[in-house]
Structure 1
């Protein structure tokens, strides 16, 4: 079992007060995140477009030259060939602190999950054409790993479609509800379908030469990605090198990561105002509306302290019960992946043509995955 070494700091040892005076400045992190569009601006240079046009044409072989279309923030590069074929080049704009192997790991995980869902479910996934396989296989000029997929041509953003539908003066309320019900039923079916996939370990998977899928890789969680991007010299040596076999081992690892966040970021997690979104997507945080009320901050800190210690007490009680620790393990993904602005909907066929980009998905213990995506809850 993976025992949490740093937990001793809260389980009996006296913490020197001078440690608490070394404050992590959250403004720097927020500034970095708010300026993510500035950090991404380097990908809009004309010479980058020209270089990528040559790269994509060479990568796909004998289709001839291609031309690019203007890229919007957050969108992939799109390239068109003379025969009408269209492809999308996707990159995850890397954090400056990401090691090269982690950059490639993120890309290969997305690709493997897309292939897995395509092979084992009816969840709509784009066809993978090419992707980075190691640290030497990166885009010219940009120097980052990538994956290349066939573009989903038909459809539009589901969020924009639902907003236009709601604001339309020519569509009746009953018709609007009928369309919404059809859409959310599709999403719900895909969600339930993903829950029926099971494996015997916690982590990510790959296919062997025969096409059989197995969990062979360590989990890479949103918490790990967050710590890697925000903590200088993030202690990756504490990360697992292979999948977890039991929920108990995984929970101990998460305790360790929570302590790394507390002591590495020097942040107690200031509560923020949670606003509902008007256009049928899940609630989101307003970063510019922080609630710095001292009483609420203190209450939040106390609750987080109690939660950390309460979780420790529950690990053995829950994770060792029959049916909890040893599975079943099913795909679990961040709720952000289910948000409707990522979904592409074709109103002519009334079908979803693209659901999500599987970024930080792992097989996780099913009994502890009880909360559906907020977007589905908001549809009621």
Structure 2
């Protein structure tokens, strides 16, 4: 029997894992959505992970079945009803040694709170090797086709992957957990049949966010920019482990908010090439500085993707238009920025002109937002003074 710190851990491991039932607690890992217990078993020294209570089992099986992306093998999983003392849903999976890819590529920092940015002196040959691996993964994912937009499931009768429910995105989860009194009444109740309807739903999601979060806009001009951006929308790697010696990626993690999304999202260049996302980068730096750093890395990544595509073509695995060409087109037409912005509800701003009717709505909203901000500041002062 596994000798952990309490009886609950003993029962979970001994009743779910095949092989020797004896082992010992090794350490625990804590992420944004996980609490994971690492166990070292006595039969062969292998390590396993028990994860509570994050979703991700379905996406893991899809990835394992349809791609060659490194998978953490799932040995068992269960719902809350299967867990001793109803602790919560769980997944028992292999433990993979490795260092986060971000740690291996980032600019050295003095503290853990400093911004994580790609090192300026990173070795191009090493980065090419990393980019080729990631390009291969992105190419495989871009070739997964689904008839609808939403949450994935495996149809047990037909033995095929389907889109069965409405999507649940990371941004949706953040809104309901961070924004008090955020209304979900307008959320979708079923999968989307088209990208147009999905994007319209995202635009509504951002408008509700703008109305609900009292401290989202800190000035009248800020409120106007956020309103303009949302109305125009309505019109239209810490999660990877690698071998620190070879930089071979050993595991890709965090598939919890996996959904079938519009294909155009897969055709955009990766936003993470500088490690720090554009939204965080532009919060502290100028656009010109971002472009000077980003565009050379984008070209380096696209060359790596072209090499991957060339090998796939030689192996007879050709699939119509090249992903590299689609990414170049997305960057050239600036669709990259539209798609990135529509997915990032906390960072949507804009300054284009509106028609008279929307301008009137905007002025009324500015008054509401400033009243909300005053009430919010007064409440904070009373609570924390």
How far is 1:363 from its partner?
A: 1.5
> Quick one: distance in 1 between partners of 2:95 and 2:28?
14
Aligned to 1:158: 101
Aligned to 1:248: 196
How far is 1:225 from its partner?
A: 0.5
> Quick one: distance in 1 between partners of 2:150 and 2:57?
15
How far is 1:269 from its partner?
A: 4.6
Name structure 1 gaps, 5 residues minimum. 1-45, 93-105, 167-172, 271-296, 315-338
- In the alignment, is residue 131 of structure 1 matched against residue 77 of structure 2? yes
> Quick one: distance in 2 between partners of 1:373 and 1:146?
31
CA-atom RMSD, angstroms? 3.2
Aligned to 1:214: 162
Deviations 1:52-78, CA, capped at 9 Å, x for gaps: 243222221452122112324437210
Superposition map of 1:73-112 within 5 A: 73-74=30-31, 76-83=36-43, 84-92=45-53, 107=55, 110-112=56-58
Aligned to 1:331: none
- In the alignment, is residue 122 of structure 1 matched against residue 84 of structure 2? no
> Quick one: distance in 2 between partners of 1:161 and 1:223?
28
Contact 1:139–1:146 (CA under 8 A) maintained in structure 2:
no
Deviations 1:67-100, CA, capped at 9 Å, x for gaps: 11232443721011111221111225xxxxxxxx
Name structure 2 gaps, 5 residues minimum. 110-119, 275-293, 301-385
Deviates more, 1:176-185 or 1:233-242: 233-242
Aligned to 2:117: none
Aligned to 2:251: 354
How far is 1:309 from its partner?
A: 1.7
TM-score relative to the length of structure 2: 0.59
- Secondary structure in structure 2 of the residue aligned to 1:299: helix
TM-aligned CA distance change 1:313 to 1:342, over 3 Å: closer
Q: How many residues align?
A: 260
How far is 1:346 from its partner?
A: 2.2
- Secondary structure in structure 1 of the residue aligned to 2:81: coil
> Quick one: distance in 2 between partners of 1:257 and 1:183?
35
> Quick one: distance in 2 between partners of 1:353 and 1:368?
25
Contact 2:181–2:212 (CA under 8 A) maintained in structure 1:
no
Contact 2:182–2:213 (CA under 8 A) maintained in structure 1:
no
- In the alignment, is residue 147 of structure 1 matched against residue 147 of structure 2? no
- In the alignment, is residue 177 of structure 1 matched against residue 124 of structure 2? yes
TM-aligned CA distance change 1:73 to 1:367, over 3 Å: closer
- Secondary structure in structure 2 of the residue aligned to 1:68: strand
TM-aligned CA distance change 1:72 to 1:357, over 3 Å: closer
Deviations 1:203-235, CA, capped at 9 Å, x for gaps: 121112243111112100123202221345654
Contact 2:83–2:89 (CA under 8 A) maintained in structure 1:
yes
> Quick one: distance in 1 between partners of 2:263 and 2:142?
8
> Quick one: distance in 2 between partners of 1:187 and 1:50?
41
> Quick one: distance in 1 between partners of 2:183 and 2:173?
12
Deviations 1:187-218, CA, capped at 9 Å, x for gaps: 12212221121111001211122431111121
Contact 1:247–1:365 (CA under 8 A) maintained in structure 2:
yes
Runs of 4+ in 1 over 6 A off after TM superposition: none
Aligned to 2:13: 56
- In the alignment, is residue 69 of structure 1 matched against residue 26 of structure 2? yes
Contact 2:105–2:122 (CA under 8 A) maintained in structure 1:
no
